[in-house]
Structure 1
Amino acid sequence: MRRFLDALYDGAAALAALFLVALLGMVLLGIVSRELHFMVPGTDAYAGYLMAASGFLALAHTFRRGEHIRVTLIVNALRGRWRRAIELWALGAGTLLAGLFAFYAAKLAWQSWQFNDISTANDATPLWIPQLGMAVGALIFAIALLDALVLEARGRRHVQTPAEALRNE
């Protein structure tokens, strides 16, 4: 199961990186098309869709690597049972909120598909397509938080702290 979850987080991160490269392509296409005086409709909208999908798909991998901003003032002051209790509470609350967000993001994409909702920009993209990236990324992030909660409850969670953050604090 551990290998599957790590592969899921890494796969989502790879897809996020691919979307970032596509975002770069959209921005460059928009710049070149303006400079050469021809129009490619929808480049701004697609750049926004790619940026949103990339951001959401990278959430779980970033969380697992300890790269999310984390306020540790209270946690670092506590020891033993109290520290573990705060960690469990924070992970439980985060899991609940991420799960709710994933549910409602998926519901939004589903409703956009049902109602055939399209973008009001000149690209007229069915909105469920870019919303799907957000929903999938939010779901994978909720799974990563649940994974961390279970590991913390079993006493097997290891919080990675990036070296760069340690140098900056």
Structure 2
Amino acid sequence: MRRLLNFLYDGAAALAALCMVALLCAVLLSIVSRQLSFHVPGIDAYAGYLMAAAGFLALAHTLKRGEHIRVTLVLSALKGRAHQALELFALALGTLLAVLFAYYSVRLAWQSHAFNDISTSSDATPLWLPQLSMGVGAMVMAIAFVDELVLQLLGRRAGATPGEALRNE
């Protein structure tokens, strides 16, 4: 099961990386098209869609690597059971919020599909297509939060301490 979950997180991160490369290409195409006086319809909108997709698809991978912003001032002052209780509370609350976010993100994409909602820009893209990446990213993040919560309950959660965060706190 661990290998499957890690594959899911890494796969979402790889898709996020592909979206970032595609975003770079879209921005470069937009710049070149302006310099050469031709227009690519909707390229700015697609760049925005790719930027959002990259951000949402990378959420779970970032969480599992301990790279999300955390305020550890109170947490670091606590020891023993109080530390564990606060950690468990934070993970439970994070899990609840991630599940709600995933539910409403998927619901938004589904409603956009059901109502045939399209972009107001010149490309007229069906909005459920770019919203799908938000829903998928939110679902993978919710799975990652449930994973972290279960690991904490079982006492197997490794405390992620990224070096960058330690230097910035």
Residue 43 (structure 1) aligns with: 43
Q: Which residue of 1 aligns with 2:59?
A: 59
Mapped to 1, the partners of 2:79 and 2:18 lie a distance apart of: 41
Gaps of 5+ in 2: none
The residue number in structure 1 matching 2:131 is: 131
Residues of 1 paired with 2:58 and 2:18: CA distance? 11
Aligned equivalents of 1:33, 1:98: Cα separation in 2: 40
Counterparts of 1:120 and 1:166, CA distance in 2: 44
- CA drift at 1:161: 1.3
Report the alpha carbon displacement of residue 159 of structure 1 after superposing the two structures with TM.
Answer: 2.0
Q: In structure 2, what residue type is equivalent to 1:60? A: A
Equivalent positions of 1:7-156 (< 5 A) are: 7-156=7-156
Take 2:167 and 2:149, find their aligned partners in 1: how far apart are those partners? 28
Q: For the residues of structure 2 that align with 1:87 and 1:166, how far apart are their CA atoms?
A: 18
Distance in 2 of aligned mates of 1:130 and 1:159: 34
Root mean square deviation of aligned Cα: 0.7
Fraction of identical pairs, as percent:
70
2:105 partner amino acid: A
TM-score by length of 2: 0.98
**Counterpart amino acid of residue 56 in structure 1:** F
Deviation of residue 140 (structure 1)? 0.3
After TM superposition, give the deviation of residue 162 of structure 1 in Å. 1.2
Distance 1:62 1:21 in 2: 18
State the shift of 1:164 in Å: 2.0
CA drift of 1:168 comes to: 2.9
Which whole-Å CA distance do the structure 2 matches of 1:49 and 1:40 have between them?
15
Amino acid at match of 2:40: V
- Length, aligned pairs only: 169
Instruction: Report the AA paired with residue 51 of structure 1.
Output: M
- Structure 1 gaps of 5+ residues are none
State the Cα distance separating 1:150 from its structure 2 match: 0.4
Please give the alpha-carbon distance, in whole angstroms, between the structure 1 residues aligned to 2:21 and 2:159. 30
